[in-house]
């Protein structure tokens, strides 16, 4: 920035109004130019590389043998064992205050004497290069005593089942019930009862960039600096300080560009904890970067549930009651620090939530198994809840001979039904508007007519529909209240610098969603500064204000509101300075495009001139002391636990009943996330979520054999959606601003995934309906489809 | 027999001829990233599935993880840094930005490599054909839709 101060000469004729506009993400220019700086790109002197010897067994005891050959392997600096690491890193236990019965076994950075899943890190090799570290793994000698693993949730809960972990009293990790109204009477009085089993496969996030850390401990200053590919730097700062018994102030966590996260990079993993502990123990800089094979057996797994559900309706199609049971397959421990319970609890809370359900009885259970621990992955449990309800409604509509749109329309919850205080969060949904919009959008009658015509030619097309409601911008209700040290607010600190640039430090991190572009749009509009004068920084616990990070669709919903509040404060400060400086009544002043003027049009000064006066020459200001041009604001929902977004998705699929192949022909989303700050970014965010949902429904599955080995742990074997299998996805919006914030934005990061799974479930089963069969196992592989077709009577 | 673990290679990287002594087992993308310092090419799966490591060798886009650095001896290797510097990818890069055809950006260098090869082939392609061409590049963030939009836009403009 040159030292020349810009002097404004004119007032812009119209305000910027950037909020709501498709502003491209200029900060991504770096990324398209190959100048991203991801974890493995961080340079800064020599580091040692870590490779882990990972357990080949799901459940075994072990004795470490001779490690000298490995230790003397070329390039090896040290071999580190679990016992050594336990000296500096205490074990951690997931505890949730509101779920005292949820007792997780303790977890160590490296296994000691026993292992509980295939892939658990056992011994660390620290070497000059990763290749040399991997070479040395072959020389490590360990005596294994293979034990019987627990691999099936149902069997795990039998009284005579072995335990997945010796610290457990039972494999039952979770049991929760939700009861509302009189369920027995509802089913007794029902004119129609439909019922179905649902199997949701085990998935993982497959972030294209694996997890990783670069950690340095400086014994001179006793400071630990950790670069990590993560979604929640403040959470990790807290965890490292606690586990390594260090003051919080001595731990700094930085997140560089993050190559995909989706909830997978929200947890504390043993391998990353071990790497950081090794940096502390050996006082040398280390890098650990998970490769793809390790990622499959260490990244959080998700979903994996068996659900049985029943719906009771009267003869006209009104829902009387919903009953469901879900059994979830967790891993060997409850993932730290947020636990593995979210998937099950969100099914319990969200299933049927979009509808008026007078009587409800839900029960979810989770079992500890000798598999990779499960945890948060995009949309957590909500897609299951939507899929179950939508599938049951379609079945009921078919049984009663009611139109599929009509049965939804007549049962949607409306504000008049929401009389309890606890229902307040659900007020103001736009379910009916979304339904009407999608019916028009997909041209339903025409689609249906074409479907009928093709059926006559033995071509089986299906139309899927999935209404969804979604928790976004989740507040302290979820983790804070449970005693989990994860910030639930998002914060923004704005500083007007002497250059006239507006520095925005925020806790609202991102991995490409475009949150920072959105924040800059909000700040530019609210403060009245040029968009390109704003510099957004994030991902550093030393310089950012405390906040959650990027999870639970919070960036714009919470971070955006914090940015708006901060910009309002900074605007007020600037105006008070100018009012005093220029002896003008503050109410007569305005700021636009970085120019402070009197409302009649007289230009007074630029933001830069204000900053220079305050920072460098306060003699011109009749103010003492000079005001601070740095303001910080936070936001978290207080009147409700989260902001509910809603919408509906539709899919058209073709099922080949000879080969079992499913082709997704077309896909539509109508979504209400309140104020849309940037449609360009929001729309592709939704599409990305949809594709992850389609992937879940059609391809993705962590396949385990009965010995607890994951048998498809490579990207060649675990199928993910690629461009050629995906359809174009049409996105449109209904806008119901969130009333709790001035911005009015709800979250949108998970919306695509919440509804897409159910849209594929209902589409496939609509396609199969002429055969009188139902497919009920996700992913809907050709095998699953053909098995369903063979059920034909 | 003497086992040779390292080899001297000379290759042209982004237009500049350079010589290196490399371990014979080092693959091309690791060599480019860690020995040459060109970190724009990424490692996603190390098994030739994801395309994050796509680079151009003698004018053909290949998987940087499925080729040893020593196999590139005497070759012309172009990376995202090279096609950015030369400007040949500029139109695609601009289209990716304008259509938000990337989120985390980790797949993007490889995706651009593949897309550029398609654009430069001069052949016409429908959206479906563009999807086929891109089906060797995994993107976990976008819905592919915007990527197809961006490539389609540039191909339209490149039409004679």
State pLDDT tens for residues A674-708. Answer: 999 999 999 999 999 999 999 999 999 999 999 99
Helices A782-790/A751-768 angle, 10° precision: 40
CB of A693 within 8 Å of a chain B CB? The answer is no
CATH class, domain A423-472+640-793, is: alpha beta
Distance CA B105, CA A737 (A): 30
Distance CA B38, CA A35 (A): 9
**Mean pLDDT value across residues A238-267:** 98
Please list, in sequence order, all residues whose beta carbon lies within 8 angstroms of the beta carbon of residue A290, skipping any fewer than 6 positions away.
A210, A211, A212, A271, A298, A299
Task: Give how far the C-alpha of residue A600 lies from the chain's centroid of Cα atoms, to the nearest Å.
Answer: 48
Task: Give how far the C-alpha of residue A394 lies from the chain's centroid of Cα atoms, to the nearest Å.
Answer: 29
Under a CB-based contact definition with an 8 Å cutoff, are residues A206 and A715 in contact? yes
Regarding whether B75 and B18 lie in a shared domain, the answer is: yes
Q: How confident is the model at residue A641 (pLDDT cuts 50, 70, 90)?
A: very high
Q: What pLDDT score was predicted for residue A2?
A: 43
A251-254 and A319-329 strand pairing: unpaired
Q: How distant is the Cα of A85 from the closest Cα of chain B, in angstroms?
A: 29
CB of B125 within 8 Å of a chain A CB? The answer is no
State pLDDT tens for residues A22-65. Answer: 999 999 999 999 999 999 999 878 899 999 999 999 999 999 99
Q: How distant is the Cα of B120 from the closest Cα of chain A, in angstroms?
A: 18
Please list, in sequence order, all residues whose beta carbon lies within 8 angstroms of the beta carbon of residue A695, skipping any fewer than 6 positions away.
A719, A720, A721
Interchain contact, A34 vs B137, CB within 8 Å: no
Under a CB-based contact definition with an 8 Å cutoff, are residues A756 and A455 in contact? no
Regarding whether B75 and B100 lie in a shared domain, the answer is: no
Task: Tell me which residue of B35, B41, B31 sits closest to B106, measured CA to CA.
Answer: B41
CATH of the domain at B113: 1.10.150.120
B153: DSSP letter: H
| Partners of residue A725 in chain B, C-beta under 8 Å | 135
CB of B47 within 8 Å of a chain A CB? The answer is yes
Regarding whether B95 and B72 lie in a shared domain, the answer is: no
Q: How confident is the model at residue A5 (pLDDT cuts 50, 70, 90)?
A: confident
Q: Does residue A299 carry a pLDDT above 50?
A: yes
CA distances from A630 to A130, A175, A497, A581, B142 (A): 44, 48, 9, 19, 36
Q: What pLDDT score was predicted for residue A16?
A: 83
Number of H helices, E strands in chain A: 20, 27
Regarding whether B138 and B122 lie in a shared domain, the answer is: yes
| Partners of residue B39 in chain A, C-beta under 8 Å | 34, 36-38, 40-41
Q: Last residue of a domain, which of B49, B68, B83?
A: B83
Q: How distant is the Cα of A445 from the closest Cα of chain B, in angstroms?
A: 26
Regarding whether B15 and B71 lie in a shared domain, the answer is: yes
- Record the tokens describing residue A623, joined without a space: 């103010």
SS3 content of chain A, % helix, strand, coil (to 5): 30, 25, 45
Range in A192-201, A732-741, B94-103, B150-159 the model is least confident about: B150-159
* Widest pairwise Cα distance in chain A: 91
Q: Last residue of a domain, which of B49, B67, B83?
A: B83
Topology of domain A26-36+489-635, per CATH? Aldehyde Oxidoreductase; domain 4 (3.30.365)
Beta strands in A419-489 (DSSP E): 460-472
A662-672 and A212-218 strand pairing: unpaired
Regarding whether B104 and B49 lie in a shared domain, the answer is: no
Range of the domain at B143: 87-158
Q: What pLDDT score was predicted for residue A421?
A: 85
Regarding whether B29 and B78 lie in a shared domain, the answer is: yes
Gyration radius of chain B over CA positions: 16
Which residue do the tokens 């991504």 mark?
Answer: A28
Chain B: residue nearest A27 by CA? B97
Regarding whether B54 and B29 lie in a shared domain, the answer is: yes
**Mean pLDDT value across residues A201-215:** 98
Under a CB-based contact definition with an 8 Å cutoff, are residues A557 and A746 in contact? yes
Q: Does residue A481 carry a pLDDT above 90?
A: yes
Nearest by CB to B143, from A32, A208, A684: name it: A684
**Mean pLDDT value across residues A267-282:** 98
**Mean pLDDT value across residues A257-273:** 98
Under a CB-based contact definition with an 8 Å cutoff, are residues A611 and A550 in contact? no
Q: How confident is the model at residue A356 (pLDDT cuts 50, 70, 90)?
A: very high
Interchain contact, B112 vs A715, CB within 8 Å: no
Q: Does residue A3 carry a pLDDT above 70?
A: no
Interchain contact, A512 vs B139, CB within 8 Å: no
Interchain contact, A207 vs B140, CB within 8 Å: yes
Distance CA A601, CA A9 (A): 11
Give the Cα-Cα-Cα angle A286, A291, A293 (nearest 5 degrees): 140
Beta strands in A446-539 (DSSP E): 460-472, 490-496, 502-506, 534-538
Regarding whether B29 and B63 lie in a shared domain, the answer is: yes
Distance CA A631, CA A282 (A): 41
Interchain contact, A292 vs B44, CB within 8 Å: yes
Under a CB-based contact definition with an 8 Å cutoff, are residues A332 and A118 in contact? no
Under a CB-based contact definition with an 8 Å cutoff, are residues A11 and A603 in contact? yes
Number of domains composing chain B: 2
φ, ψ of residue A630 in degrees (nearest 5)? -120, 125
State pLDDT tens for residues A600-638. Answer: 889 999 999 999 999 999 999 999 999 999 999 999 999
Q: Last residue of a domain, which of B37, B55, B83?
A: B83
Regarding whether B77 and B91 lie in a shared domain, the answer is: no
CB of B71 within 8 Å of a chain A CB? The answer is no
B33: DSSP letter: I
Q: How confident is the model at residue A10 (pLDDT cuts 50, 70, 90)?
A: confident
Under a CB-based contact definition with an 8 Å cutoff, are residues A208 and B50 in contact? yes
Q: Sign of the C-alpha dihedral, residues A72, A77, A83, A84?
A: positive
Q: How distant is the Cα of B23 from the closest Cα of chain A, in angstroms?
A: 11
Distance CA B34, CA B43 (A): 12
Q: How distant is the Cα of A688 from the closest Cα of chain B, in angstroms?
A: 4
| Partners of residue A716 in chain B, C-beta under 8 Å | 45, 47, 49
CB of A476 within 8 Å of a chain B CB? The answer is no
Interchain contact, A726 vs B33, CB within 8 Å: no
State pLDDT tens for residues B4-41. Answer: 899 999 999 999 999 999 999 999 999 999 999 999 99
CB of B126 within 8 Å of a chain A CB? The answer is no
State pLDDT tens for residues A117-169. Answer: 999 999 999 999 999 999 999 999 999 999 999 999 999 999 999 999 999 99
Chain A: residue nearest B38 by CA? A34
Q: What pLDDT score was predicted for residue A601?
A: 84
| Partners of residue A684 in chain B, C-beta under 8 Å | 100-101, 103, 142-143, 145-146
Which residue do the tokens 């630029």 mark?
Answer: A606
Q: How distant is the Cα of B74 from the closest Cα of chain A, in angstroms?
A: 24
Task: Give how far the C-alpha of residue A390 lies from the chain's centroid of Cα atoms, to the nearest Å.
Answer: 23
Regarding whether B50 and B78 lie in a shared domain, the answer is: yes
Residue B53 located in a structural domain? yes
**Mean pLDDT value across residues A103-111:** 97
CB of A46 within 8 Å of a chain B CB? The answer is no
Chain B: residue nearest A750 by CA? B141
- Say what percent of chain A tops pLDDT 90: 96
Q: How distant is the Cα of A665 from the closest Cα of chain B, in angstroms?
A: 11
Task: Give how far the C-alpha of residue A435 lies from the chain's centroid of Cα atoms, to the nearest Å.
Answer: 26
**Mean pLDDT value across residues A472-484:** 94
- Give the N- to C-terminal CA distance of chain A in Å, as an integer: 77
Q: Does residue A1 carry a pLDDT above 50?
A: no
Q: How confident is the model at residue B1 (pLDDT cuts 50, 70, 90)?
A: low
Beta strands across the sheet bearing A60-64: A114-115, A60-64, A142-146
DSSP string computed for A499-519: TS-EEEEES---SSS-HHHHH
Distance CA A351, CA A361 (A): 11
Interchain contact, B105 vs A31, CB within 8 Å: yes
CA distances from A723 to A131, A444, B140 (A): 33, 26, 10
Q: Does residue A468 carry a pLDDT above 70?
A: yes
Regarding whether B102 and B33 lie in a shared domain, the answer is: no
Q: How confident is the model at residue B42 (pLDDT cuts 50, 70, 90)?
A: very high
Distance CA A682, CA A697 (A): 23
Interchain contact, A512 vs B102, CB within 8 Å: yes
Nearest by CB to A728, from B44, B107, B145: name it: B145
| Partners of residue A511 in chain B, C-beta under 8 Å | 103-104, 141
CB of B149 within 8 Å of a chain A CB? The answer is no
Distance CA A287, CA A279 (A): 9
Residue B1 located in a structural domain? no
* CATH 3.30.365.10 domain residues, chain A: 26-36+489-635, 423-472+640-793
Q: How distant is the Cα of A450 from the closest Cα of chain B, in angstroms?
A: 22
- Among A32, A37, A293, the strongest candidate for a mutation testing the B interface, having the largest count of B CBs within 10 A, is A32
Q: What pLDDT score was predicted for residue A13?
A: 65
Distance CA A72, CA A550 (A): 43
CB of B78 within 8 Å of a chain A CB? The answer is no
């Amino acid at each position: 920035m040159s030292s020349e101060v810009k002097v404004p000469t004119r007032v812009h004729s119209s305000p910027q109004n950037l909020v709501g506009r498709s502003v491209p993400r200029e900060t991504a220019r770096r990324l398209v130019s190959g100048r991203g700086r991801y974890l493995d790109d961080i340079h800064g002197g020599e580091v040692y590389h870590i490779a882990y010897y990972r357990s080949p067994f799901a459940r075994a005891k072990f004795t470490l043998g001779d490690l000298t050959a490995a230790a003397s392997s070329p390039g090896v600096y040290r071999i580190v064992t679990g016992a050594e690491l336990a000296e500096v890193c205490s074990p951690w236990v997931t505890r949730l205050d509101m779920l005292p019965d949820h007792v997780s076994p303790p977890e160590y950075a490296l296994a000691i004497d026993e292992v509980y899943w295939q892939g658990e890190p056992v011994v660390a090799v620290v070497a000059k290069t990763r290749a040399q570290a991997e070479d040395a793994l072959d020389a490590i000698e360990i005596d294994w005593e293979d034990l019987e693993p627990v691999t099936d949730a149902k069997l795990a809960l039998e009284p005579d089942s072995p335990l997945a972990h010796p610290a457990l009293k039972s494999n039952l990790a979770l049991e929760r019930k939700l009861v509302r109204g009189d369920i027995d009477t509802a089913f007794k009085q029902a004119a129609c009862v439909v019922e179905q089993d649902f199997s949701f496969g085990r998935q993982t996030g497959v972030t294209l960039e694996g997890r990783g850390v670069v950690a340095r401990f400086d014994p001179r200053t006793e400071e630990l600096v950790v670069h990590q590919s993560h979604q929640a730097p403040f959470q990790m700062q807290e965890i490292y300080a606690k586990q390594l018994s260090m003051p919080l102030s001595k731990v700094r966590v930085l997140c560089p560009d993050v190559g995909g996260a989706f909830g997978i990079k929200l947890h504390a993993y043993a391998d990353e904890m071990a790497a950081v502990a090794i940096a502390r123990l050996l006082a040398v800089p280390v890098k650990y970067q998970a490769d793809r094979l390790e990622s499959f057996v260490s990244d959080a797994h998700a979903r994996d549930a068996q659900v049985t559900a029943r719906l009771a309706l009267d003869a006209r199609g009104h829902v009387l009651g919903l009953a469901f049971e879900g059994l979830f397959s967790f891993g060997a421990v409850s993932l730290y620090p947020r636990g593995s319970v979210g998937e099950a609890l969100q099914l319990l809370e969200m299933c049927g939530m979009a509808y008026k359900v007078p009587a409800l009885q839900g029960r979810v259970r989770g079992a500890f198994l000798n598999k990779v621990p499960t945890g948060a992955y995009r949309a957590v449990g909500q897609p299951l809840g939507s899929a179950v309800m939508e599938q049951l409604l379609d079945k009921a509509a078919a049984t009663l001979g009611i139109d599929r749109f009509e049965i939804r329309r007549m049962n949607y919850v409306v504000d008049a039904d929401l009389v309890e205080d606890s229902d307040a969060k659900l007020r103001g949904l736009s379910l009916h508007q979304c339904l009407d919009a999608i019916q028009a959008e997909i041209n339903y009658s025409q689609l249906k007519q074409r479907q009928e015509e093709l059926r006559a030619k033995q071509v089986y097309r299906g139309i899927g529909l999935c209404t969804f409601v979604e928790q976004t911008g989740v507040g302290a209700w979820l983790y804070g209240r449970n005693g989990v040290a994860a910030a639930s607010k998002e914060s923004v600190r704005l500083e007007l610098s002497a250059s006239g640039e507006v520095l925005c430090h925020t806790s609202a991190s991102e991995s490409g969603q475009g949150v920072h572009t959105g924040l800059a749009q909000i700040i530019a509009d609210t403060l009245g500064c040029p968009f390109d004068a704003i510099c957004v920084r994030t991902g550093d616990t030393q310089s950012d204000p405390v906040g959650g990070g990027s999870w639970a669709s919070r960036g714009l919903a919470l971070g955006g509101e914090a940015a708006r509040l901060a910009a309002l404060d900074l605007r007020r400060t600037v105006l008070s300075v100018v009012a005093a400086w220029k002896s003008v009544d503050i109410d007569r002043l305005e700021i636009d495009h970085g120019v402070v003027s009197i409302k009649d049009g007289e230009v007074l000064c630029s933001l830069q001139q204000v900053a220079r006066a305050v920072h460098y020459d306060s003699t011109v200001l009749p103010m003492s002391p000079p005001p601070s041009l740095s303001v910080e604001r936070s936001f978290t929902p207080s009147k409700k636990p989260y902001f509910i977004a809603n919408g509906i998705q539709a899919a058209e699929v073709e099922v080949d009943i000879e080969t079992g192949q499913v082709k997704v022909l077309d896909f539509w989303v109508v979504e209400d996330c309140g104020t849309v700050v940037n449609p360009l970014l929001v729309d592709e965010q939704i599409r990305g979520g949809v594709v992850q949902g389609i992937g879940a429904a059609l391809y993705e599955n962590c396949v385990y054999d009965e010995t607890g080995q994951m048998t498809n742990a490579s990207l060649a074997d675990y199928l993910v959606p690629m461009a050629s299998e995906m359809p174009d996805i049409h996105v449109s919006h209904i806008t119901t601003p969130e009333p709790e914030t001035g911005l009015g934005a709800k979250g949108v990061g998970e919306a695509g995934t919440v509804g897409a799974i159910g849209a594929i479930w209902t589409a496939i089963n609509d396609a199969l309906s002429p055969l009188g069969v139902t497919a009920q196992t996700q992913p809907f592989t050709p095998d699953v489809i053909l098995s369903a077709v063979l059920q034909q009577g | 027999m003497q086992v040779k673990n390292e080899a001297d290679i000379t290759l042209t990287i982004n237009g500049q001829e350079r010589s290196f002594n490399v371990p014979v087992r080092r693959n091309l993308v690791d060599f480019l990233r860690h020995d040459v310092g060109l970190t724009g090419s990424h490692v996603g799966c190390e098994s030739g599935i994801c395309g994050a490591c796509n680079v151009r060798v003698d004018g053909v886009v290949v998987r940087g993880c499925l080729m040893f650095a020593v196999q590139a001896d005497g070759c012309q290797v172009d990376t995202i840094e090279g096609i950015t510097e030369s400007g040949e990818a500029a139109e695609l890069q601009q289209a990716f930005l304008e259509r938000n055809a990337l989120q985390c950006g980790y797949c993007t260098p490889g995706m651009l490599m593949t897309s550029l090869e398609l654009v430069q082939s001069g052949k016409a392609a429908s959206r479906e054909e563009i999807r086929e061409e891109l089906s060797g590049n995994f993107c976990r963030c976008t819905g592919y839709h915007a990527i197809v939009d961006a490539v389609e836009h540039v191909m339209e403009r490149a039409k004679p």
